[in-house]
Amino acid sequence: MLSKKTKYAINALVYIAKHIEDQPISASRIAEEQNIPLKFLESILTELKNARILNSKKGKVGGYSLNGPPEKIHLAKVTRLFDGAIALLPCVTFNFYERCEECVDEETCGIRQVAMEIRNETVTRLKNATLSNIIEREVRLSKK
């Protein structure tokens, strides 16, 4: 399951991408529109900024804007940032590798392969889920 933090982050990013002409957009506007506790959202936006997914501008007409085109910001990156590894086992993650404590022999572990296959599938799909892709899907869905 995605954490609430990750979901808030995704909603905030999609919101900014949808109102791209209003950039920069303030945290308080996003908080109100997306029903996210302001202070919590602030910390999320700061993390997104530190990860260079967002840019920020201080002061009266300040706020946050996308750092790069919405075609290049995808869910794999956001998920990893807040929830860490995407895989089911730490021993098959690319970015957060760790040995499985419970594992007797990693080389012959039968569930490792399965976890690897699932990871590959999942990461591919999350990478394809860019902000623009998500918005396209929403447009298509609301036309039905």
Partner DNA sequence: CTTTATCCTATTAATTTGGTAGGATATAAA
Partner DNA sequence: TTTATATCCTACCAAATTAATAGGATAAAG
Contact footprint for DNA (CB under 7 A)? 3-5, 26-29, 37-40, 42-43, 45-46, 49, 56-64, 83
Chain Cα centroid distance, residue 114: 24
Contacts (Cβ under 8 Å, ≥6 apart) of 50: none
What residue 49 binds from a second copy, DNA, none (CB within 5 to 8 A, per partner kind)?
A: DNA
> What is the H or E stretch that residue 54 is in?
strand 54-57
CB 121 within 8 A of CB 88: no
CB atoms within 10 A of CB 137: 11
Residue 126 touching a second copy (CB under 8 A): yes
Q: By CB under 8 A, name the one of 14, 30, 31, 54 that touches a second copy.
A: 14
Residue 39 touching a second copy (CB under 8 A): no
Residue 109 touching a second copy (CB under 8 A): yes
User: Which is nearer to a second copy, 81 or 126 (by Cβ)?
Assistant: 126
CB 70 within 8 A of CB 20: yes
CB of 21 to a second copy, least distance (A): 19
